[in-house]
């Protein structure tokens, strides 16, 4: 009974035992368990005491506020907790709590009334120190934030790098484009250059062969561009080339190609043409457009082109052959009087190869000393003496024998070799005269022919001055023979040059007079010393009354202008006596002497040896 009274039984287990068990649970629980009533702690397990840093006994009866960092925190919880409890709900949350030593820690709390039906019975608090969790979470959050920040930074870096890369790619593309442009275009005119032309032509030929089209290659060379360039100077010449390029582009269709090979050479490729008529139209258009005046540096210029045309497939199967043949045809336009066009014909190749062969052989001839000078005497009947010697160049070619200057001088002129040949002639003639003087022969002037290109050379006066000094010859013993066309070429420049030469004492003769178009009014302005009546008038003097009239007029003109007059090509006595009747006293011709080697010519210095016609004297 007593045992029943002191220890009531609960399902076979005594209350005491049950309490002991509950206490054991409380004491060993790893979470804090606390009971409060009337805002005071009434029970707390060991874990609560440990968490809050109190002796367990000290906790009992402690005001709830003591466990909170501040009264405000305590009341703030109350505002949330009390209504929840009234609704018979529990509270769950994490709050900062205060230890006995005043330090704070984070606590996960769930609070509930012990018996919701009797709220005054008290509240049970389950508590867990989550400071460490919090720290870990905070650390996690921080490292997450850091990571996010790093990712954001990296992303920004990548974005910037990407933008930079794109800029670089763009720049590189632009540079490559520029390099390509430079490598394939002519810097001056911006037209395709030889490399790009080759490419375009090759492509055009592939297309043409696939679809059975024709393609035309036009080789365009500006006539006398060198002279224009010399007159304008390089800047002016460049301007003109740009103007020509612009006009050529306008003259053709967009599908065609206009290229510049360099210098004054342009090439036009006409794609997909249906026949020669198309090409003629374009060629005429080009001639017309270039012929319109161009204003450059206060000059009004008219450019004329010489055009050579080859057609695929008739004139060549590939670009090399087509270009070569168009070039050959261009030379034929030049010799046909320029400012025109010529279609290629196979026969042109024979002529062209002869021309080029001769040019090459002439270069070799100069080096090997195969050029020699012969001299033909100029005779003064009044003084019964030789009054001069004309130096005439001869080419003794080992293969072909003697080649006439009429054949090779034009080639030398065209190729520019005349400058070398001409300088050699001047030097050689002056050296010869000096030799004759040293041999005791009388002082006589030597006549040297100057070709147009040689005369137009800027350095001519300087070259002559040097040669005279070199050979110790006075200037008055040199007579330069130029033709009327040379004289009339660029009147102002010619006048300056002639004045300079005349001032030095060099004499000037107009060769082949009567065949050119010199303006008589100019004759007076130029310091001309002598006119040489062309031998074509002398040849038919006795039979052709017109020739006789012209010869008589020239002789009369010269005498009136007080210019020396000499008749060339006198071959017989009849011609001589007619010329004497017209008032001419100086002569040159086979009747007196042929051109001869220096040694033989020297014999003519003696009055008794004026030639075969000594009896005349
Ligand atoms: P040119 O200056 O009118 O020279 C006179 C030409 O007439 C020479 O021909 C000469 O041999 C020829 N001749 C002289 N008397 C007679 C004659 O009675 N009857 C005929 N039928 N012909 C006669 P060549 O030597 O063949 O020279 C031809 C042209 O070549 C020269 O004509 C001249 O324009 C040019 N030439 C000659 N040597 C040189 C030179 O060193 N430099 C330059 N630039 N041209 C030259
Ligand atoms: Mg001459
Ligand atoms: Mg002559």
3-state DSSP percent of the chain in helix, strand and coil, to 5: 55, 25, 25
Looking at the domain assignment, is residue 579 inside a domain?
Answer: yes
CB of 409 closer than 6 angstroms to any ligand 1 atom: yes
pLDDT for position 9: 56
CB of 512 closer than 6 angstroms to any ligand 1 atom: yes
Which of 325, 344, 363 is the endpoint of a domain?
344
| CA 468 – CA 229 distance, rounded (Å) | 29
Ligand 1 centroid–CA 442 distance in Å is 24
Q: Are residues 227 and 317 in the same domain?
A: yes
Closest C-alpha to 384, from 448, 449, 442: 442
| CA 143 – CA 139 distance, rounded (Å) | 6
Answer positive or negative: Cα dihedral of 87, 90, 95, 101: positive
pLDDT for position 3: 39
Looking at the domain assignment, is residue 19 inside a domain?
Answer: no
Ligand 2 centroid–CA 510 distance in Å is 9
Lowest-pLDDT choice from 378-387, 481-490, 539-548: 481-490
CB of 485 closer than 6 angstroms to any ligand 1 atom: no
Looking at the domain assignment, is residue 310 inside a domain?
Answer: yes
Q: pLDDT of 389-442, one tens digit each?
A: 999 999 998 878 888 999 889 888 877 789 889 999 999 999 999 999 999 999
pLDDT band at 8 (very low <50, low <70, confident <90, very high): low
> Which residue has the CA at smallest separation from atom 11 of ligand 1?
595
Instruction: Dump strand ranges (E) for 38-86.
Output: 40-44
CB of 59 closer than 6 angstroms to any ligand 1 atom: no
> Which residue has the CA at smallest separation from atom 7 of ligand 1?
569
Per residue, the 3-state secondary structure of 227-288, as one string, reads: HHHHHHHHHHHHHHHHHHHHHHHHHCCCCCEEEEEECCEEEEEEEEECCHHHHHHHHHHHHH
Closest C-alpha to 522, from 490, 553, 550, 500: 490
* Under 8 Å between Cβ of 311 and 215: yes
Ligand 1 centroid–CA 354 distance in Å is 23
**Residues forming beta bridges with residue 375, ordered by sequence position:** 391, 596
* Under 8 Å between Cβ of 422 and 451: yes
Q: pLDDT of 199-253, one tens digit each?
A: 999 999 999 999 999 999 999 999 888 878 877 788 889 999 999 999 999 999 9
pLDDT for position 226: 80
Lowest-pLDDT choice from 112-121, 467-476, 499-508: 112-121
pLDDT for position 10: 55
Q: Are residues 491 and 381 in the same domain?
A: yes
Q: Are residues 107 and 218 in the same domain?
A: no
pLDDT band at 522 (very low <50, low <70, confident <90, very high): confident
> Which residue has the CA at smallest separation from atom 21 of ligand 1?
569
With a CB cutoff of 8 Å and minimum separation 6, the contacts of 6 are 16
Looking at the domain assignment, is residue 233 inside a domain?
Answer: yes
* Under 8 Å between Cβ of 123 and 36: yes
Which of 106, 129, 152 is the endpoint of a domain?
129
Q: What percent of the chain has pLDDT over 90?
A: 66
Ligand 1 pocket test target in 405, 426, 457, 531 with most atoms within 8 Å of CB? 405
Closest approach atom of ligand 1 to CA 591: 18
Q: pLDDT of 450-477, one tens digit each?
A: 998 899 888 999 999 999 999 999 999 9
The larger pLDDT score, comparing residue 552 to residue 4, is at 552
pLDDT band at 313 (very low <50, low <70, confident <90, very high): very high
| CA 389 – CA 392 distance, rounded (Å) | 9
- 3-state secondary structure at position 31: coil
| Angstrom distances, CA of residue 594 to CA of 273, 338, 533 | 58, 36, 18
Q: Which residue has the tokens 């011709």?
A: 589
Q: Are residues 326 and 405 in the same domain?
A: no
Ligand 2 centroid–CA 483 distance in Å is 9
Answer positive or negative: Cα dihedral of 224, 408, 484, 469: positive
Looking at the domain assignment, is residue 538 inside a domain?
Answer: yes
608 phi and psi angles, rounded to 5 deg: -75, -15
**Residues forming beta bridges with residue 91, ordered by sequence position:** 111
Looking at the domain assignment, is residue 353 inside a domain?
Answer: no
CB of 611 closer than 6 angstroms to any ligand 1 atom: no
pLDDT band at 509 (very low <50, low <70, confident <90, very high): very high
Reported pTM: 0.53
Which CATH number does the domain housing residue 40 bear? 3.30.450.20
pLDDT band at 11 (very low <50, low <70, confident <90, very high): low
Which of 129, 149, 179 is the endpoint of a domain?
129
Which CATH number does the domain housing residue 211 bear? 3.30.70.270
Q: Are residues 222 and 310 in the same domain?
A: yes
Q: Are residues 242 and 321 in the same domain?
A: yes
> Which residue has the CA at smallest separation from atom 3 of ligand 1?
512
The structural domain count of the chain equals 3
pLDDT for position 616: 46
pLDDT for position 1: 37
Query: Is the pLDDT at 5 greater than 50, yes or no?
Result: no
Q: Are residues 218 and 323 in the same domain?
A: yes
Q: Are residues 305 and 380 in the same domain?
A: no
Which CATH number does the domain housing residue 594 bear? 3.20.20.450
Cβ neighbour number for residue 479 with a 10 Å cutoff: 21
> Which residue has the CA at smallest separation from atom 27 of ligand 1?
405
| CA 218 – CA 212 distance, rounded (Å) | 20
Q: Are residues 337 and 416 in the same domain?
A: no
Q: Are residues 340 and 439 in the same domain?
A: no
CB of 379 closer than 6 angstroms to any ligand 1 atom: no
> Which residue has the CA at smallest separation from atom 2 of ligand 1?
449
Looking at the domain assignment, is residue 582 inside a domain?
Answer: yes
Looking at the domain assignment, is residue 290 inside a domain?
Answer: yes
Q: Are residues 211 and 290 in the same domain?
A: yes
Give the containing element (helix H, strand E) for 72: helix 71-86
* Under 8 Å between Cβ of 476 and 445: yes
Which residue range(s) make up the domain with 567?
371-616
Closest C-alpha to 70, from 93, 107, 49, 98: 98
- Give the ligand whose atoms come closest to the C-alpha of residue 534: 3
| CA 446 – CA 314 distance, rounded (Å) | 54
The larger pLDDT score, comparing residue 182 to residue 1, is at 182
Closest C-alpha to 495, from 467, 524, 470, 462: 524
Ligand 2 centroid–CA 445 distance in Å is 14
Burial class (CB in 10 A: 0-12, 13-18, 19+), 440: exposed
Q: Are residues 378 and 340 in the same domain?
A: no
Which tokens in the block code for residue 95? 């709050």
The larger pLDDT score, comparing residue 604 to residue 285, is at 285
pLDDT for position 612: 46
Answer positive or negative: Cα dihedral of 278, 280, 283, 287: negative
């Amino acid at each position: 009974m007593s045992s029943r009274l002191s220890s009531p039984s609960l399902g076979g287990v005594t209350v005491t035992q049950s309490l002991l068990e509950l206490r054991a649970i409380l004491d060993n629980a790893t979470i804090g368990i606390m009971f409060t009533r009337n805002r005071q702690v009434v029970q707390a397990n060991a874990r609560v005491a440990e968490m809050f840093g109190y002796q367990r006994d000290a906790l009992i009866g402690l005001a709830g506020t003591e466990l909170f960092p501040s009264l405000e925190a305590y009341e703030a919880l109350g505002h949330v907790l009390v209504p929840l409890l009234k609704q018979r709900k529990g509270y769950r949350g994490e709050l900062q709590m205060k230890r006995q030593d005043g330090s704070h820690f984070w606590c996960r709390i769930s609070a509930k009334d012990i018996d919701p039906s009797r709220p005054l019975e008290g509240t049970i608090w389950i508590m867990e120190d989550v400071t460490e969790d919090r720290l870990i979470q905070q650390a996690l959050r921080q490292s997450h934030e850091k990571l996010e920040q790093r990712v954001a930074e990296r992303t920004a870096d990548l974005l910037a790098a990407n933008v930079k890369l794109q800029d670089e790619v763009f720049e590189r593309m632009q540079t490559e484009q520029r390099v390509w442009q430079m490598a394939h275009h002519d810097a001056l005119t911006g037209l395709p250059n030889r490399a790009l032309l080759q490419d375009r032509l090759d492509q055009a030929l592939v297309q043409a062969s696939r679809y059975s089209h024709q393609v035309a290659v036009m080789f365009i060379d500006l006539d006398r561009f060198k002279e224009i360039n010399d007159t304008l100077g390089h800047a002016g010449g460049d301007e003109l080339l740009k103007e020509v390029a612009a006009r050529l582009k306008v003259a053709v269709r967009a599908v065609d190609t206009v290229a510049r090979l360099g210098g004054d050479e342009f090439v036009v490729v006409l794609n997909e043409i249906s026949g020669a008529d198309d090409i003629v139209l374009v060629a005429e258009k080009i001639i017309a457009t270039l012929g319109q005046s161009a204003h450059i540096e206060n000059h009004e210029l008219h450019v004329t082109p010489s055009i050579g045309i080859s057609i695929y497939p008739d004139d060549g199967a590939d670009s090399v052959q087509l270009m070569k043949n168009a070039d050959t045809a261009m030379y034929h336009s030049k010799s046909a009087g320029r400012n025109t066009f010529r279609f290629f014909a196979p026969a042109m190749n024979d002529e062209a190869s002869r021309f080029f062969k001769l040019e090459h052989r002439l270069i070799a001839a100069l080096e090997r000393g195969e050029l020699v000078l012969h001299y033909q005497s100029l005779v003064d009947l009044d003084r019964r003496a030789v009054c001069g010697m004309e130096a005439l160049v001869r080419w003794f070619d080992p293969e072909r024998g003697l080649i006439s200057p009429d054949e090779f001088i034009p080639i030398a002129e065209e190729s520019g070799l005349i400058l070398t040949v001409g300088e050699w002639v001047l030097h050689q003639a002056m050296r010869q005269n000096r030799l004759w003087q040293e041999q005791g022969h009388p002082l006589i002037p030597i006549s040297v022919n100057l070709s147009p290109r040689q005369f137009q050379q800027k350095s001519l006066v300087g070259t002559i001055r040097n040669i005279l000094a070199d050979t110790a010859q006075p200037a008055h013993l040199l007579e330069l023979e130029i033709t009327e066309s040379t004289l009339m070429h660029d009147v102002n420049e010619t006048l300056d040059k002639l004045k300079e030469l005349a001032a030095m004492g060099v004499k000037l003769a107009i060769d082949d007079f009567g065949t050119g178009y010199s303006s008589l009014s100019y004759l007076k302005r130029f310091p001309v010393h002598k006119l040489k009546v062309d031998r074509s008038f002398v040849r038919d003097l006795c039979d052709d009354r017109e020739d006789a009239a012209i010869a008589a007029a020239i002789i009369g003109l010269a005498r009136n202008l007080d210019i020396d007059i000499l008749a060339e090509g006198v071959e017989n006595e009849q011609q001589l006596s007619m010329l004497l009747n017209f008032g001419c006293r100086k002569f040159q011709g086979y009747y007196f002497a042929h051109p001869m080697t220096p040694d033989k010519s020297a014999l003519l210095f003696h009055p008794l040896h004026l030639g075969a016609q000594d009896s005349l004297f």
